[in-house]
Structure 1
Amino acid sequence: MDVGAGLNKAFERMDGQLLADHLAQKTSRFGTDLSSVELADLYISANAIKDTTSWQKPRTLENLPEFLEEFSENAKELGEAPETKGSPHTIVVAGAGLRAAELVRALRRFQKKGNPVAKLFAKHIKMEEAVQFLTTHRTGIAVGTPVRLMDLLDNGALSADSLKRIVIDGSHIDQKKRGVMDMKETMLPLAKWLSRKEFKDRFTADENKVELMFY
């Protein structure tokens, strides 16, 4: 851990298998109220996770845009927005609203007129504001927290039809050395979000694939 930089550097060395094991361990730890069947439904396989261990730079806010460019088939598309409103190609998942706001600022290089980065988190943006934004704007990249993202998907304002990648802000830790996977109130919603029928099978699909990455 690098507490000064706010980074859990273990994620730099975790391939798909290690990340799948880490996810399963955290889900079991916080999901003591869940049945074995419910826990099994939340399991993400190793081949569902893209290996990003080749990335040598620190997983800081400043390096996130370059990370996305490195692991995208067509980096130019990161600055474009799908035609359908409320249907981003990239969703970045953070543990808290303040952190999500920082991620939005870090990703502004991909923002253009008519293609703003979507703010899908509860800290400063009300649910109805997020719904209105998604139903009236095209957006390529969305940043959100797990519960709000699920609510917007349930609502229908957020669509996964154009989705190509989900990026989990895994390395970031707070002053208490806690990341998105270290707290029950964020880890369980994250596990449930990743298990959504809209894209779980697409993590391992050949067509209409969604890539799952941990930053």
Structure 2
Amino acid sequence: MARTKQIARKHSSGVKRKRTPEDDAADTGSGNEQPQKKSATANAAANSRAGQTVYDKTIAKDGPEKLAERFTDAIKKQKGDLSTIELEDESLPPKAFKDTTGFGETRLAKNLSDFLEQYTPDGREGLKSCAEETGSPHTILLTSSAIRAQALLQQVRAYGSEDNKIAKLFAKHLKLKDHIQYVQKTKFGIGAGTAHRIQHLIENEVLKLKHLKRVVIDGSYVDDKQRTIFTDRDAFLPTLSLLNLDQLKLRLVSSETELLVF
């Protein structure tokens, strides 16, 4: 309870996180959201065409307690020596995580729609809905890269329509100012992207959270360098920053928004 009140006090202060050089790099297209060097991009494209076959099978066995522990362990590894208070401040409680151990299929991209339908009230119809207000998704798919976000977007296209777009929420090929304009005028229920860009859209008050029911972390995916979103420092630290954003973390700890790990 004290932790929730502390977050609420921070949120009410209206103080935004200071921008870092990494933020500027991401917005100008020179950071980790840029296309990878040609060989890595070619490998990823080849894997996508062939169909994903490699994934972290241990995620499927983790309930809320284990997922919270996995998240905390990643903080320790990626951020180094933290005090007990600092670690507790950045960690997420088990109640923030949805128990998805009942999903019987493999955690591959081709099964994402089945996963979402199983853990969404009203299933397919619920996923096909969207709020009347622009920039107000019910579902955000959080990935380690723009390439991976593109792959997941292909799996959820069927939930979109002319009046309910499936939104790209990553920086590749789109400057922040243009992205802000896009989100300001677009209604969408589902968006997929990377933490840097999603956080910037929230901080610019165009990506709204009041209808957000779930954030789905693409945790099982293993990239061509054998990294997951938990072990890739360049992906995990922005993810940590996003999930600790006051207005989002308050929703997670109060269970207004659920955190699912696919």
TM class by shorter chain equals: over 0.9
Larger radius of gyration between Structure 1 and Structure 2: 2
How many Å separate the matches in 1 of 2:203 and 2:71? Answer: 24
Q: Deviations over 1:16-68 (max 9, x none)?
A: 11110010000111112766544322110111100100101011111111111
Contact 2:141–2:216 under 8 Å retained in 1: yes
Which residue matches 1:211? 258
CA-based RMSD? 1.5
**TM superposition shift of 1:89:** 0.5
Q: 2:127 aligns with which of 61, 78, 82?
A: 78
Task: Say yes or no: does 1:69 pair with 2:117.
Answer: yes
Task: Say yes or no: does 1:10 pair with 2:63.
Answer: no
Q: With the length of structure 1 as denominator, give the TM-score of the two structures.
A: 0.92
Provide the secondary structure at the position in 1 that maps to 2:247.
coil
How many Å separate the matches in 2 of 1:197 and 1:6? Answer: 34
Task: Say yes or no: does 1:167 pair with 2:193.
Answer: no
Q: Deviations over 1:59-91 (max 9, x none)?
A: 111111111110011221210111110010100
How many Å separate the matches in 1 of 2:59 and 2:68? Answer: 12
Q: With the length of structure 2 as denominator, give the TM-score of the two structures.
A: 0.76
Q: Deviations over 1:151-198 (max 9, x none)?
A: 111111111111011000000011221011111111111112112221
Task: Say yes or no: does 1:29 pair with 2:51.
Answer: no
Structure 1 gaps of 5+ residues are none
List aligned pairs for 1:136-175, cutoff 5 A: 136-175=185-224
Aligned residues: 210
Task: Say yes or no: does 1:49 pair with 2:49.
Answer: no
How many Å separate the matches in 1 of 2:63 and 2:93? Answer: 12
Structure 2 gaps of 5+ residues are 1-51
How many Å separate the matches in 1 of 2:82 and 2:181? Answer: 34
- Percent sequence identity is 32
2:63 partner letter: D
Which residue matches 2:176? 127
Task: Say yes or no: does 1:60 pair with 2:112.
Answer: no
Which range moves more in the overlay, 4-13 or 23-32?
Answer: 4-13
Which residue matches 1:104? 153
List aligned pairs for 1:174-193, cutoff 5 A: 174-193=223-242
How many Å separate the matches in 2 of 1:117 and 1:126? Answer: 19
How many Å separate the matches in 1 of 2:134 and 2:168? Answer: 14
How many Å separate the matches in 2 of 1:121 and 1:173? Answer: 19
